[in-house]
Amino acid sequence: MNQFRPAERVTRIRPSGIRAVQIEAERLERQGIKIYNFSIGRPDFDTPEHIKAAAKAALDAGRVHYTHNAGIVELRQAIAQKLSAENGLIVDPEQGVLVTAGSCEAVCLAVLGYVNPGDEVLIPTPAWTNYVAATLLAGGVPVEVPARREDGFLPDPDVLRRRVTGRTRLLILNSPNNPTGVVYPEPLLRKIAEVAEHSGLLVLSDEIYERLLCGDTPHLPFARLPGMGERTLLINGLSKTFSMTGWRIGYLAGPPNLVQPLVRIHQNLVASACSFVQWGAAEAIGGPSDCVSLMVAEYRLRRDLVWETLSAVPGIRLVRPQGAFYAFPGWERSDLSAEEMAQRLLRETHVAVVPGTVFGPGGEGHVRLSYCCATADVKEGVARMAAFFERL
């Protein structure tokens, strides 16, 4: 019998509930069953050609070796210029930008770098699962602060304030939000900023969906608020905006004194992000962005399909998504758990969604659907969901 056991830090982390649904959907598809797969946040568009061309050119030019740990200077400069022009943020491309192997790594770097064992991390939920996982990996204590559907899934600043203790170290924000699709309005962000400043919290602001807006609420970079630039680590990436999920390229930006310690972790984990991918990323950030506008227009159309179809079903409660490409419908029947609902939808309608409980407290009685698949599939899939809900 194998006597070797994984480290305790590994056993604290649950397998991904999102990937579990995706794996089951793919298994059924291999059996020849048509699945309307709303499980994973993976854009269905190809990476734009000018980005692929830049990466190919880098390969042809022999740019296949290690790069600077923090990333090629051309990409860091492009990121700094983008943050200045689009977000009103001034960062040092030499010391304040770190290119990572996807935004997943960026989240882990920030949490590992600033959370000691026993430190508490405030996480408004429902939330992307990696925030809790990274906290547990660092030996921290995730303090999940449920946001209610009745409040539009917007966190209550007063509740956040009451959850702060002498052990609270970090606050994680994500707007536009996964899994709810809500965008935090400026008045709310200002109140959250007051909590962070009064409590002396470091803030990790995950803004990877910043350009995927489909409503009236604009995106406001958290670091731009008074007093927040000095205490905020901004995380972003190219996976969602430019449909580059498989390229594994993201970045972390902030004050040099916050970013530079994380380079030490990064250089021991991955050394540097993939060399030729970084050249493609530099073209994505600094090149034409018409491709993004076209994708966002399609997401808006799909969002409208989801909203108009599901919100018309009696007993279904849906907060209108304002950003990203997710919807988080709930239902009134208390005898059907989120897990049971997701299983029945897959089994009876061949629609794959993720149980809301995967995303923490407040997720019970909900499922997440990702409408970043073909528009025809979105139309048919949500029609099947609506018919199923009506039969209930």
CATH number where 69 lies: 3.40.640.10
Over range 324-329, report the average pLDDT. Answer: 97
Of 26-30, 122-126, 180-184, the poorest mean pLDDT is in 26-30
258 & 325 share domain: no
Considering the domain architecture, whether residues 74 and 141 belong to the same structural domain is answered as: yes
Question: Which residues form the domain of 76?
Answer: 62-286
pLDDT at 212: 97
Residues 334 and 214 placed together within one structural domain of the fold: no
Cα→Cα distances 132→31, 122, 127, 376, Å: 34, 10, 9, 35
The percent of residues above 70 in pLDDT, for the chain, comes to 99
28: pLDDT strictly greater than 90: no
At residue 24, the pLDDT reads: 85
153 and 16, same domain (yes or no) = no
Listed residue (287, 375, 276) closest to 325, CA to CA:
375
Domain contains 28: yes
Is residue 2, in this structure, part of any structural domain at all? no
Q: For residues 226 and 314, state if they share a domain.
A: no
Summarize pLDDT for 41-61 with one digit per residue, the tens. Answer: 899 999 999 999 999 999 999
Mean pLDDT taken over the chain: 95
pLDDT digits (tens, 9 = 90+) for 128-138: 999 999 999 99
Looking up residue 307, the CATH number of its domain turns out to be 3.90.1150.10
Q: What is the pLDDT of residue 49?
A: 97
- Domain count of the fold of the chain: 2
- Taking each helix axis from N to C end, the angle separating 73-87 and 275-286, rounded to the nearest 10 degrees, works out to 30
Which of 233, 251, 286 finishes a domain? 286
- Is residue 54 assigned to a domain? no
Q: What would you measure as the largest C-alpha separation in the chain, in angstroms? A: 61
Q: In terms of domains, do 175 and 252 share one? A: yes
Instruction: Verify that 239 and 300 share a domain, yes or no.
Output: no
Q: Which of 271, 286, 301 is the last residue of a domain?
A: 286
pLDDT at 166 over 70: yes
Position 1 scores a pLDDT of 56
Inside any domain, residue 147? yes
Note whether 295 and 202 are same-domain residues. Answer: no
Is residue 271 located within the same domain as residue 301? no
Strand pairing report for 316-317 and 330-331: antiparallel
pLDDT at 190 over 70: yes
Domain edge (last residue) among 256, 286, 316: 286
pLDDT (mean) for 76-97: 98
Mean pLDDT within 191-198:
98
Do 176 and 253 belong together in one domain? yes
Percentage of the chain modeled with pLDDT above 90: 88
Same domain, 277 and 158: yes
Tell me the pTM: 0.95
